[in-house]
């Protein structure tokens, strides 16, 4: 019987050869730990629970949210969850791999979930499957950005009007229209009305009550250029909009309440 390490090497080879032949998306190579999946439960379109209460958040994608605490489902949230269920149920064998963070340690998100990927023995990559069907956005965060082919799959799904790209989720929201409690993952566009910086961040203030924060080190390490010339230009950011409770001092200095944090150039585009 083949060891898990040998089986995983065969899966990696199948992923590369089959997807290149089909003109599809090859996952990035990672040195993070691999495990086989014996039991699983799908929470939503980008979160799974495995044996021993192991929780995995798919990296490089964001699926529509299933409504909780009285909130409605986002468009195609249930379709994304069903797509993950279908992928898992129809696969001959399943494996998951955790990515590595900047310290070369297995990566977790701020909820304590592992950040990684799911593959099957047929050579399919779950994240790419979701993006191709228009059931997830592509995302890039240092130090593990999404490969170019995943962004290309998103562009194809968008052009074809698949899934989220046929709904309001796929439309860019105007920063000037944003007010709490509207938040979560979104595409957001606006004019840069002020640019400031601190030791670690650049702040792009948009029209309305929103600021985009760029992590200087990670942004430049990923090839991003300094944004100081972007004043009065239109940008589109993708990420999670959250609302801050400002101190009296921050209010007096006209800080923006809404913030999107970005650390990779893939997540921001100049529109003019």
Residues 14 and 86 in one domain: yes
Report how far residue 184's alpha carbon sits from residue 2's, in angstroms, rounded to the nearest whole number: 44
Confidence of residue 16 (pLDDT cuts 50, 70, 90): very low
Q: What is the largest CA-CA distance in the chain?
A: 68
Residues 52 and 151 in one domain: yes
Residues 36, 95: contact at Cβ < 8 Å? yes
CATH number assigned to the domain comprising residue 132: 2.40.50.90
* b (16+ CB within 10 A) / e for 31-60: ebebbebeebebebbbbbebeeeebbbbbb
Report how far residue 112's alpha carbon sits from residue 106's, in angstroms, rounded to the nearest whole number: 11
Confidence of residue 12 (pLDDT cuts 50, 70, 90): low
Residues 67, 74: contact at Cβ < 8 Å? yes
Residue 19, pLDDT score: 42
Q: Can you tell me whether residue 116 is helix, strand or coil?
A: strand
Confidence of residue 2 (pLDDT cuts 50, 70, 90): very low
Report how far residue 10's alpha carbon sits from residue 23's, in angstroms, rounded to the nearest whole number: 20
Q: Can you tell me whether residue 28 is helix, strand or coil?
A: coil
Interstrand relation of 47-50 and 94-98 (parallel, antiparallel or unpaired): unpaired
Residues 257 and 157 in one domain: no
The boundaries of the domain holding residue 68 are: 4-166
pLDDT tens digits for range 240-268: 999 999 999 999 999 999 999 999 999 99
Handedness of CA 251, 257, 262, 263 (dihedral sign): positive
Confidence of residue 152 (pLDDT cuts 50, 70, 90): very high
How many structural domains are present in the chain?
Answer: 2
Residues 210, 256: contact at Cβ < 8 Å? yes
Residues 157 and 178 in one domain: no
Of the three residues 166, 190, 208, the one that is the final residue of a domain is: 166
R_g of the chain, CA atoms, integer Å: 20
> What is the pLDDT of the chain when averaged over all its residues?
91
pLDDT tens digits for range 18-45: 443 334 787 777 788 899 999 999 999 9
Q: 241: which strand partners?
A: 184, 260
pLDDT tens digits for range 186-214: 999 999 999 999 999 999 999 999 999 99
Residue 53, pLDDT score: 87
What secondary structure letter does DSSP report for 145? P
Residue 113 has pLDDT above 90, yes or no: yes
pTM: 0.91
Mean pLDDT of 217-233: 97
pLDDT tens digits for range 52-99: 889 999 999 999 999 988 889 999 999 999 999 999 999 989 999 999
Residue 13, pLDDT score: 53
Of the three residues 166, 183, 218, the one that is the final residue of a domain is: 166
Interstrand relation of 173-174 and 184-197 (parallel, antiparallel or unpaired): parallel
Report how far residue 258's alpha carbon sits from residue 240's, in angstroms, rounded to the nearest whole number: 10
Report how far residue 127's alpha carbon sits from residue 181's, in angstroms, rounded to the nearest whole number: 29
């Amino acid at each position: 019987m083949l060891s898990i390490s040998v089986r995983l090497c065969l899966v990696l080879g199948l992923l590369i050869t089959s997807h290149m032949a089909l003109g599809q998306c090859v996952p990035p190579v990672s040195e993070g730990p691999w495990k086989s999946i014996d039991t699983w439960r799908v929470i939503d379109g980008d979160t799974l629970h495995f044996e021993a209460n192991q929780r995995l958040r798919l990296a490089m994608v964001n699926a529509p949210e299933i409504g909780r605490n009285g909130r409605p489902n986002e468009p195609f949230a249930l379709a994304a969850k069903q797509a993950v269920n279908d992928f898992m149920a129809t696969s001959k064998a399943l494996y998951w791999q955790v990515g590595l963070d900047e310290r070369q340690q297995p990566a977790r998100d701020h909820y304590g979930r592992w950040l990684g990927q799911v593959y099957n023995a047929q050579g399919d990559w779950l994240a790419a499957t979701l993006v191709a069907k228009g059931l997830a956005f592509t995302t890039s965060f240092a130090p593990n950005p999404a490969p170019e082919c995943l962004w290309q799959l998103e562009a194809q799904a968008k052009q074809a009007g698949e899934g989220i790209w046929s709904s309001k989720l796929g439309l860019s929201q105007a920063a000037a229209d944003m007010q709490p409690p509207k938040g979560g993952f979104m595409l957001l566009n606006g004019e840069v009305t002020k640019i400031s910086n601190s030791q670690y961040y650049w702040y792009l203030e948009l029209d309305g009550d929103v600021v985009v924060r760029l992590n200087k080190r990670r942004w430049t390490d990923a090839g991003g250029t300094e944004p100081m010339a972007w004043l009065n230009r239109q940008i589109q950011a993708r990420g999670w909009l959250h609302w801050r409770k400002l101190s009296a001092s921050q209010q007096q200095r006209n800080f923006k309440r809404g913030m999107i944090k970005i650390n990779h150039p893939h997540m921001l585009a100049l529109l003019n």
